[in-house]
Structure formats: structure tokens, C-alpha cells
Structure 1
């Protein structure tokens, strides 16, 4: 499975964007794209963008995409979801 193209992890990134790192952890302002279930009340901006697209009910819970497969982690590629940054404008 190929990892989708992603930008470098940066505080200027849009919330909900994907970024990649060769580190062993995701940097501050991001979470691992590991399919975890989160409470919507903990990150309302990200909830409004994902709307339960990857799981959860989209109201009280939501799930991050699961892109950190064993194969990608073995290759040293960690994909993160930006949780702090700029709220993206619609185009």
C-alpha cells in the first residue's frame, strides 16, 4: 500500500492535512494517522472536517484515517494528521 502524498509537518499546515515524518513519533500539533477513535469535544475543528468519514458517529466521536500500516512503519514512514494549524477555506 502506498502512502498518499503528504507535506512536511509544520505549524502552518491546514487542520486535517496529512504530513509525513521519518521520526519515531508525530510532532506537536499532530496525531498519528493510526485509526484511533477520538472524542469530538476534544477537537471540534477536526471533527467538522472529517465528519465521521473514517468511523465514529461524527457527533460525539470520530476516527482518524489509518495510514500507518506495518509496512510503512517498517520503511520508517510515519503519517500524521494535523490537529493544530489553520482551518482550511473551501475553494
Structure 2
């Protein structure tokens, strides 16, 4: 099998040698594009000389020049005489190398990401503006109490004159909405405070437009200047 692959690559190189070394100006998604380059089109199909950049596997014999360019960077097996094209379905291209404060990126290795990131909450304070007309009210029940525990409940009228309805300290929160306030003209209602140990997801995906990514396999062979 290795002999067949070597012969196939040799034949591919022979075909490449017959191509124009200095072609005309290359344009995206046309016959003058460079083999292995990727173009984007608003069509729902790729033009002649291009295949979709969807991670598909192809035969080395069928696409010899493209196989020489890509080799097995994006998948496939030389032992089985196959190679794969990049998969840009639902993905954005990322440049290779290392950016300031970033990890190294290599061709062929997908960068797994999500449409939302979990950002742990930071300790912070919310300033409250109080004015002379700020009003605070506490919701209570004028009828006799029916619950024994204060958790999730509100103060109620005692059923007996000797009932003790208050304590000198607190260890539990009343029901949501029991306390409301008008602070600087804005209504504020009591509620449950999210735990500092529960990071909340925030969207990090910007506006996008879905298009078709196409890989050139029948254009001009790219010459490495190095």
C-alpha cells in the first residue's frame, strides 16, 4: 500500500510540475485560486474546482495536488490512501501561532468553544442612593399566624396575647417580596441573592452570518517561498 501511495504522490507531483508557476492574479472562489485555499460564498453550493470545507475524507488518488498540500493535517490516513479537508461547519477560522497571553494554536486542531462563557462573580458593592422621600415597607399579615417557623414566611398577628412574635437576632430570611423600598424613585423588592459559588453564563458570541466555505482543489499550486 505504501508503494501505491508513493507512486500516487509522484504522479501528483508530476501533474503539479506542469502547472503554471506564476499564474494570473488569484481571486476567491474562481478557477485561478490557489490549491488548498478556502473561500466563502453566499451560495449554498461550491463552484467547480472546489469542495465544501466540511471535514470530509477524500481519496489521495482522486485529489492528488490537494493531498500533497494538506497531507494528513486535517485527518485521513496515508496507509488507507485518504486525507481530509478542514471542517469549518459552525466554526470560525483561527490563526496559527501564539498571541500575547494566548495558548499556541496549530493547524488541524479544533479550538473548542461555546456560545456562552461561565464567568465567576466578583466581590463587588452596589451603591444605593437614598433620598428624603425614600420609603420602606414591610409586608405583614394582620390575621392570626398559621406557621411556626419564620423561614419563607412573614410576620403575622399572634393568636394569643402571650405569643412572642419577635427575637433580638435573625438567622433566616423571610419570604421573597416581604420587604420593599422606594430608593431614589426606583422600586426595589426583596428577593433571593444568587450564591457567589454559582457562576452565571454570559453570551460571548457576536453577530454572525452563515455562509458556505469552499476548498480549492483545481487551481494553481501554491509555491512555498521559503
Q: TM-score range with shorter-chain normalisation?
A: 0.7 to 0.9
Matched, 1:20 2:154: no
Q: Displacement of 1:57 after TM fit?
A: 1.4
Verify: 1:41 aligned to 2:175, yes or no: no
Q: Which has the higher helix share?
A: 1
TM-superposition CA deviations, 1:54-84 (whole Å, max 9, x none) = 001145000110012289xx83311100011
Superposed structure 1 runs of 4+ greater than 2 Å apart? none
In the TM superposition, what whole-angstrom CA distance separates every residue of 1:7-66 from its partner, at most 9, and x where no partner exists? 621111110001110001011100000000101100110000001100011450001100
Aligned to 1:4: none
Larger radius of gyration: 2
Relative contact order (alpha carbons < 8 A, sep ≥ 6): 1 or 2 greater? 1
Name the TM-score, length of structure 1 as normaliser.
Answer: 0.82
Partner of 2:217: 83
- Paired with 1:29 and 1:58, the residues of 2 have a C-alpha distance of 23
Task: State how many pairs are aligned.
Answer: 83
> What secondary structure does 1:8 align onto?
coil
Stretches of structure 1 lacking an aligned partner (at least 5 in a row) = 1-6
Which residue does 1:3 correspond to in 2? none
Q: CA separation in 2, counterparts of 1:30 and 1:87?
A: 14
Structure 2 unaligned residues grouped into runs of 5+: 1-26, 93-207
- Counterpart-to-counterpart distance in 1, 2:28 and 2:91: 21
Q: TM-score, normalised by structure 2?
A: 0.35
